[in-house]
């Protein structure tokens, strides 16, 4: 059978020679079509000067620092269109990489619009992984694989690792496969093979067997003719390094390289890009990884102002010498677009340093900053900019808008007693917006952690409010889809043992652990795939009659399906497989609530298969690209994590859960220290900048975490918002007014009488008389609606007659009551419900800095601690 993945010949029709200007050649191809627009092409006319510079500086390295909402995608797509239209390169000579399929798809579409046609001609536009696969298919044998290798997902990976850990005679509970999978992932993100991993890492797992296990894992993958996601990049890197001729081919081929979201690249991706971007003549390859990078981080302990203003270090690293090098290869035409302030994936290996270091990696680089924001109001931009200004180690950008409007609402900060009240209040605000004619589609709730979603979902269900959750398990991650896929995989790839094991007893056929183990062991012993091993075992007496018959049935099925593979339409065959295997019947018989949905998913799976040429092509697609479709017709509020929100925008954004411990997340602080905090702050920045017009931030005083009620204090990020752009809503609740957020239930019980004397308390008392009956957030509390939207016209149709004093402009109450002397003194011994005992080391208003015996130094409000 010919390799179905070889659809695009390596030496494409245009050859490797410099691209001719295709203008005159009567009209095939995108480039030619684009040339239809002759003079100042209209794709350039709508751009602002900076954008235009980013588009038109086609030669040499370019870093585009694109702040949120500054037209990043537009620049990227226009730049490609420009390159093509100018005849600088053929579509097949442009390498354009993104992180997600969604981004790749979007880019394709938009280039198509610009250039006036489909973009099939851009074979090298895709995700890092899909391009990695494409390379690897072509040179698989150089990585010890066959070109039809399968791609394992995380689930397969973990099952495989578990087998290996057990095979080593290790306790797989003490050394969880999941954890080891994460370690391997981390190594691969850095481009480490088993030989490269640091000794410490190797020892950290499985009594020092880390390296051994990693090696075993890679060996096993090779036998299975399989790759995990990390390999999709690591193998190509190794191939390119070991085969200079192959590398040279690619280097010549890719006249232009474009990278989206450069701040999210990990070390492996960086290495891969560097290889491709180097011009052959110069180029030391080896020192990229270890030494220099760590040197640099040591040279910059505080993460000081790296980048734009530190030309001193430019000369320390110059792998490519731009002008001075006396003709050793021109600088590469690589254009990286990103925003260091939106780097939020450090925890999965992304290295902000890559973007901070760009100018050193590519001396002579043009840096274009896009700061003109087309998305948000001046208040939102002001708030976001001020917040992110607390980070160090930035390249430094300040967003601004050309269209400030005095009527724009400020960013609103609200307090609630607990998460239930928070959800209720958010629900109310949403309904109010809806009544004012806003579409639910234009509103989103962005949470830090997914457990926060439930409360909102519950609330919206009772309200009958449409919502959609973005994120969650993807289509191809669902059990039934993976099961079905496993069947297809075994049919297409009889050696795919992982798939075989997955479904050999699904649906139940009486082939339990013992039977599977027998086949597995036999296969390992004789070095044949499990399916073949099973065939041999069935011919013997080794197995009891019952399971033997069952196994024989399975084998016969697979053999039959395999025969049909080449002469039956693949979607039809797929349906047959699921029918004959009893898999469909299994779900039909299932009485549970999910069963119908699962059957529906299976149908959808087969339906989508029809679009592909073969089952094999389909398998490839699903493992890399397929994602769930969202029903866009429905008007619904979106609920998603902050991470998932990157790149999106909404008219109205709700940001609940701004409390210490949740946001910034405690674990980010514990594990990431200062840089962890900065990443959290960037996440906050991402959240704020998703909003076009309305932005509501919430925090609660009490949150149930793992079933335990915890009193919480407002996020430090709230203190970092500028007074001029923020309104603090002061909810008059029965819990004690604004000060309410700072109070624990003990306050209510009157434990801390001092609290009653605080300005916050008194103000609350005053408000309470007129402002409300019932709780903040109750559905009938019309009065509540006005609160906090007072003095500035929020655009919600809020009333004019707000009560002065309800709106505290500026820094949170924690500071607004700072004039009140604290009841504590430095040196006092205190007790905190969560942190335990400690000593007061500093006092700032009602904020105490306390050195806790166990929890370390924390800032807490005095309402939370008790003298001991």
Partner DNA sequence: TCGTCAGGAATTTTT
Partner DNA sequence: TTCCTGACGA
Q: In the complex with DNA, which residue's Cβ is closer, 142 or 182?
A: 182
CB of 155 to DNA, least distance (A): 9
Residue of 188, 209, 646, 690 marked catalytic: 690
CB of 514 to DNA, least distance (A): 6
Q: In the complex with DNA, which residue's Cβ is closer, 171 or 610?
A: 171
Residue 73 among the catalytic residues: yes
Residue 568 among the catalytic residues: no
- The answer to whether 839 touches 851, Cβ cutoff 8 Å, is yes
Q: In the complex with DNA, which residue's Cβ is closer, 508 or 559?
A: 508
Cβ within 8 Å of residue 528, ≥6 positions away: 536
CB-based burial of residue 407 (10 Å sphere; 0-12 exposed, 13-18 middle, 19+ buried)? exposed
CB of 77 to DNA, least distance (A): 18
CB of 712 to DNA, least distance (A): 15
Residue of 72, 448, 682, 716 marked catalytic: 72
Instruction: Enumerate binding residues for DNA (CB under 7 A).
Output: 99-102, 127, 129-130, 153-154, 162, 172-173, 185, 229, 347-348, 448-451, 471, 474, 505, 508, 510-515, 547, 624-625, 627, 640-641, 643-644, 665, 667-668, 671-672, 676, 680, 706-707
> C-alpha distances in angstroms, 110 versus 170, 433, 487, 867?
52, 32, 37, 63
Cα distance between residue 535 and residue 524, in whole Å: 14
Q: In the complex with DNA, which residue's Cβ is closer, 117 or 553?
A: 553
Q: In the complex with DNA, which residue's Cβ is closer, 367 or 617?
A: 617
Residue 690 among the catalytic residues: yes
Buried b (16+ CB within 10 A) or exposed e, 41-54: bebbeebeebbbbb
CB of 136 to DNA, least distance (A): 12
Instruction: Return the closest-CA partner of residue 123 out of 246, 11, 247, 278.
Output: 11
570-580 helix and 479-492 helix, angle to the nearest 10 degrees: 110
CB of 154 to DNA, least distance (A): 5
Q: In the complex with DNA, which residue's Cβ is closer, 457 or 793?
A: 457
Which DSSP string corresponds to 301-323? Answer: TT--S-STT-GGGGGG--SS-SS
Residue 261 among the catalytic residues: yes
- How wide is the angle at C-alpha 68 spanned by C-alphas 64 and 69, nearest 5°? 100
Residue 342 among the catalytic residues: yes
Residue of 100, 251, 342, 429 marked catalytic: 342
Residue of 156, 185, 260, 720 marked catalytic: 260
Pairing verdict, β 443-447 and 637-641: parallel
Q: In the complex with DNA, which residue's Cβ is closer, 265 or 743?
A: 265
- The answer to whether 311 touches 250, Cβ cutoff 8 Å, is no
CB of 147 to DNA, least distance (A): 18
| Coil vs helix vs strand at 855 | coil
- The answer to whether 849 touches 857, Cβ cutoff 8 Å, is yes
- How wide is the angle at C-alpha 485 spanned by C-alphas 481 and 486, nearest 5°? 120
Q: In the complex with DNA, which residue's Cβ is closer, 356 or 511?
A: 511
Cα distance between residue 865 and residue 826, in whole Å: 13
**Complete edge-to-edge strand list for the sheet that includes strand 865-867:** 856-861, 847-852, 836-844, 829-832, 865-867
Omega within 30 of 0 (cis) for the link into 274? no
Q: In the complex with DNA, which residue's Cβ is closer, 349 or 863?
A: 349
Element (H, E) at 696: strand 691-705
CB of 854 to DNA, least distance (A): 19
Instruction: Return the closest-CA partner of residue 701 out of 866, 459, 842, 863.
Output: 863
CB of 322 to DNA, least distance (A): 33
> C-alpha distances in angstroms, 678 versus 7, 231, 390?
45, 30, 8
- The answer to whether 259 touches 337, Cβ cutoff 8 Å, is yes
CB of 364 to DNA, least distance (A): 32
Instruction: Return the closest-CA partner of residue 502 out of 529, 484, 478.
Output: 484
- The answer to whether 463 touches 427, Cβ cutoff 8 Å, is yes
Residue of 57, 58, 73, 434 marked catalytic: 73
CB of 769 to DNA, least distance (A): 37
| Coil vs helix vs strand at 867 | strand
Q: In the complex with DNA, which residue's Cβ is closer, 660 or 828?
A: 660
595-609 helix and 570-580 helix, angle to the nearest 10 degrees: 150
> C-alpha distances in angstroms, 317 versus 224, 269, 310, 488, 654?
41, 19, 13, 50, 45
Residue 260 among the catalytic residues: yes
Cα distance between residue 605 and residue 603, in whole Å: 5
Q: In the complex with DNA, which residue's Cβ is closer, 54 or 653?
A: 653
Hey, which residues are catalytic here?
72-73, 260-261, 342, 690
């Amino acid at each position: 059978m010919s390799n179905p993945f070889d659809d695009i010949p390596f030496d494409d029709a245009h050859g490797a020679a410099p691209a001719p200007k295709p203008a005159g050649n009567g009209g095939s191809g995108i480039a030619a079509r684009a040339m239809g627009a002759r003079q100042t092409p209209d794709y350039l006319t709508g751009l602002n000067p900076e954008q235009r510079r980013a588009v038109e500086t086609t030669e040499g390295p370019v870093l585009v620092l694109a702040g949120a909402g500054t037209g990043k995608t537009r620049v990227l797509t226009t730049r490609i269109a420009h390159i093509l239209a100018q005849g600088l390169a053929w579509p097949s000579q442009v390498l354009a990489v993104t992180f997600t399929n969604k981004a790749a798809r979007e880019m394709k579409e938009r280039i198509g619009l610009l250039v006036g046609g489909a973009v099939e001609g851009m074979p090298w536009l895709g995700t890092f992984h899909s391009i990695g696969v494409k390379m690897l298919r072509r040179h698989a044998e150089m990585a010890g694989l066959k070109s039809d290798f399968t791609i394992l997902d995380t689930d397969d990976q973990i099952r495989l690792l578990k087998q290996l850990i057990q095979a080593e005679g290790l306790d797989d509970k003490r050394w969880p496969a999941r954890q080891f999978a994460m370690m391997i992932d981390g190594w691969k993100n850095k481009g480490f093979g088993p030989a490269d991993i640091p000794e410490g890492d190797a020892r950290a797992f499985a009594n020092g067997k880390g390296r051994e296990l990693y090696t075993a894992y890679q060996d096993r993958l090779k036998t299975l003719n399989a790759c995990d996601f990390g390999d999709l990049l690591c193998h190509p890197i190794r191939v390119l390094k070991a085969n200079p001729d192959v590398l040279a081919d690619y280097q010549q081929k890719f006249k232009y390289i474009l990278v989206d979201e450069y701040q999210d690249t990990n070390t492996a991706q960086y290495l891969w890009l560097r290889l491709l971007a180097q011009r052959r003549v110069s180029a030391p390859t080896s020192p990229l990884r270890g030494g220099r990078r760590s040197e640099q981080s040591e040279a910059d302990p505080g993460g000081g102002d790296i980048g734009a203003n530190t030309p001193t270090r430019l000369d320390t690293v110059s792998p490519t010498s731009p002008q001075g090098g006396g003709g050793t290869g021109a600088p590469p035409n690589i254009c990286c677009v990103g925003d260091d302030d939106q780097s939020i994936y450090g925890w999965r290996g992304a290295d902000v340093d890559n973007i901070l270091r760009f100018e050193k990696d590519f001396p002579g680089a043009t840096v274009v900053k896009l700061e003109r924001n087309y998305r948000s109001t001046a208040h939102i931009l002001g708030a976001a900019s001020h917040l992110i200004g607390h980070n160090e180690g930035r390249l430094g950008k300040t967003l601004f808008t050309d269209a400030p409007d005095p009527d724009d609402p400020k960013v609103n900060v609200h307090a609630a007693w607990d998460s239930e009240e928070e959800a209720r209040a958010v629900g109310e605000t949403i309904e109010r917006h809806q009544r004012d004619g806003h579409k639910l589609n234009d509103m989103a709730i962005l949470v830090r952690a997914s457990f926060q979603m439930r409360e909102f979902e519950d609330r919206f269900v009772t309200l009958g409010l449409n919502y959609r959750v973005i994120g969650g398990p993807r289509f191809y991650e669902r059990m039934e889809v993976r099961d079905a896929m496993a069947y297809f995989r075994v049919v297409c790839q009889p050696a795919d043992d992982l798939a075989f094991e997955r479904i050999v007893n699904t649906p139940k056929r009486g082939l339990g652990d013992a039977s599977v183990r027998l086949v597995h062991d036999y296969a390992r012993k004789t070095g044949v795939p499990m399916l073949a091993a099973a065939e041999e075992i069935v011919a013997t007496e080794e197995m009891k009659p019952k399971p033997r018959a069952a196994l024989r049935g399975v084998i016969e099925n697979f053999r039959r399906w395999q025969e049909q593979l080449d002469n039956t339409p693949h979607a039809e065959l797929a349906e047959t497989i699921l029918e004959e295997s009893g898999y469909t019947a299994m779900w039909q018989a299932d009485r549970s609530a999910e069963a119908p949905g699962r059957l529906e998913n299976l149908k959808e799976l087969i339906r989508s298969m029809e679009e592909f040429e073969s089952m094999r092509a389909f398998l490839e697609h699903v493992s890399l690209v397929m994602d769930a479709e969202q029903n866009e017709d429905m008007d619904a509020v979106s609920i998603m994590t902050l991470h998932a929100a990157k790149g999106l925008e909404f008219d109205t954004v709700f940001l609940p859960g701004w409390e210490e411990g949740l946001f910034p997340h405690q674990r980010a602080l514990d594990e990431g220290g200062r840089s962890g905090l900065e990443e959290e702050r960037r996440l906050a920045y991402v959240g704020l900048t998703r909003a076009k017009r309305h932005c509501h931030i919430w925090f609660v005083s009490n949150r149930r975490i793992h079933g335990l009620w915890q009193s919480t204090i407002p996020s430090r990020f709230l203190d970092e918002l500028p007074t001029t752009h923020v309104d603090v809503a002061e909810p008059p609740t029965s819990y004690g007014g604004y000060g309410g957020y700072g109070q624990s239930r003990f306050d209510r019980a009157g434990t801390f009488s001092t609290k009653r004397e605080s300005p916050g308390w008194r103000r609350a008392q005053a408000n309470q008389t007129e402002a409300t009956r019932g709780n903040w957030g109750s559905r009938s509390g019309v009065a509540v609606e006005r609160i906090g939207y007072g003095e500035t016209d929020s655009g919600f149709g809020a009333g004019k007659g707000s009560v002065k004093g309800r709106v505290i402009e500026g820094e949170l109450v924690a500071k607004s009551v700072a004039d009140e002397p604290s009841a504590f003194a430095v040196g006092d011994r205190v007790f905190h419900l969560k942190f335990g005992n400690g000593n007061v080391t500093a006092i700032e208003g009602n904020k105490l800095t306390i050195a806790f015996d166990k929890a370390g130094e924390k800032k807490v409000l005095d309402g939370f601690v008790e003298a001991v």
